[in-house]
Amino acid sequence: MSIDFSKKLTARETPIPGVVLYDLPVHGDNRGWFKENWQREKMVSLGLPDFRPVQNNISFNEKAGTTRGIHAEPWDKFISVATGRIFGAWVDLREGPSFGTVFTAVMDASQAIFIPRGVGNAFQTLEDNTAYTYLVNDHWSAEAQGQYTFLNLADETSAIQWPISLELAELSDKDKAHPRLADVVPMPGKKILVVGADGQLGKALRELYDGDESVEFAGRAEFDLGNEDAYKALNWKNYSTIINAAAYTAVDNAETTAGRAAAWAVNVSAVSHLARTAVEHDLTLVHVSSDYVFDGGRDAHDEGEPFTPLGVYGQTKAAGDAIVSVVPRHYIVRTSWVIGDGNNFVKTMANLALRGVKPSVVNDQTGRLSFAADIASGIRHLLESGTTYGTYNLTNDGAPQTWADIAAVVYELLGVSGQAVTGVSTAEYFRDKEAAPRPLNSTLDLSKIASQGYIARNSKEALEEYVRGLRSQEER
């Protein structure tokens, strides 16, 4: 076999998304040759996904004309030739617009190809004593074999031009019996798992992803974040992302003995389980943070500000953020004053307005509302746009307001004079009450997420829409 010893390590895109053909440097002399078949640092810098291989398999083929495939497995593969030469054929068998796309190439020991999960792999040997190697990122199991997707080598739609006619080639009976493309069930993509899916954000995510079978939702009954067995029960290779919408948010109760333990259990210990799972299985972890990680001493808080939590709730949220920050693929989404489908400040003010109550409301805490529907939309933007991993502030936009300002607007939207709302200081409001300390300024700087193409909806517009929804529910 003649090998080109002058090649440099290069990558070539193919018509199948994610399938990349690599030329490998081969060093040789009169004794033979040597190559770095897998060199993580060099190949990752060239764009190869760091797909964490765990098993290496070799297929030895005694005769030219041996033909194997077309098999799509539920894992990624880095394929190369150890000895000999092959004609390789790859067909996209994943759900999506590229389903059925074909790529073929003749490969020798100086080349390798990356095949993502769900792309069918086949080859035909062009020389005797050919060895074909697979570096894969999951261990073979009988369970995994049940997730394979197959295509017949002679499929007329794919119309692969095999160098050696299939009638003359060496095929297995199983490969001969595989279905044509029209009868292939595409391999579904990896899923997003939303945990804590019964809270305000969880409900907004359910509505946003309604009908999308690639997103699973789990409330406390379906997935107990604090139970190690819950993590062992899932095959994480079938998931790409976890969105953690769960949190302990009883700010005042967190200052009690029982509340402190509960807050640390949900906001820290459970988060550590999620983070470990994300690291072990190379998942993206989306975690929702809070303005309470800051003391409110700045006019606007940006993502780089050091943590300065005032109370137990803020301390647990800061600890959770620190844990998530070590996950290689993470988004920490920092919000404030969340409003969604559930008990919240706006709903409380609306009920008071409709009952004719004239409340006293805090007027020295400043911030912006974060509507759960907009947080959900922002999370989807981060995931779908491929934005750089890290922390992003995500609230609604507009001029910062106090709680008293917002209450007055709610009253006005319901046809009640905003003069019914009386402003009081935080100290006065909580006098003689057991309450957690609160940041006086919760305004979050939105410039970072805006630079990534997400423009937050104006809080005035969002509040008007939300109150209209409350009014229509009341009328029903």
Catalytic residues: 71, 134
Which helix (DSSP H) or strand (DSSP E) does residue 34 occupy?
A: strand 32-35
Distant-in-sequence, close-in-space partners of 462: CB < 8 Å, separation ≥ 6: 369, 371, 373, 374, 396
The token duo for 315 is 């301390």
Q: Residue 340 contacts by C-beta under 8 Å, 6 or more apart in sequence?
A: 199, 200, 201, 203, 204, 371, 372, 373
CB contact at 8 A, 134 and 84: no
CA distance 466 to 237: 39
Amino acid at 370: S
* Tokens describing residue 170: 């060496």
Distance of CA 254 to the CA centre of its chain: 30
User: How far from the centroid of its chain's Cα atoms is residue 301's Cα?
Assistant: 25
Q: What would you report as the CA-atom Rg of the chain, rounded to the nearest whole angstrom?
A: 28
The single-letter DSSP state of residue 253 is G
Q: Which of 228, 231, 226 is nearest to 266 (CA)?
A: 226
Q: If you count them, how many residues does the chain have?
A: 476
| Tokens 């369970």 sit on residue | 143
CB of 184 within 8 A of CB of 150? Answer: yes
Residue 431 has phi, psi (to 5 degrees) of -60, 130
Taking the C-alpha atoms of residue 330 and residue 271, their distance in angstroms, rounded to an integer, is: 12
Whether residue 338 contacts residue 201, with contact meaning beta carbons closer than 8 Å, is answered with yes
What is d(CA 324, CA 329) in angstroms, rounded to the nearest whole number? 9
- Looking from the CA of 27 toward its CB, the CA atoms found within 13 Å total 4
From CA 245, how far away is CA 333, in angstroms rounded?
10
Determine the Cα–Cα distance for residues 221 and 165; give it in Å rounded to an integer. 56
Packing angle between helix 312-324 and helix 270-281, nearest 10 degrees? 10
Q: How many CB atoms within 10 Å of residue 81?
A: 27
130-136 and 119-125 beta bridge pairing: unpaired
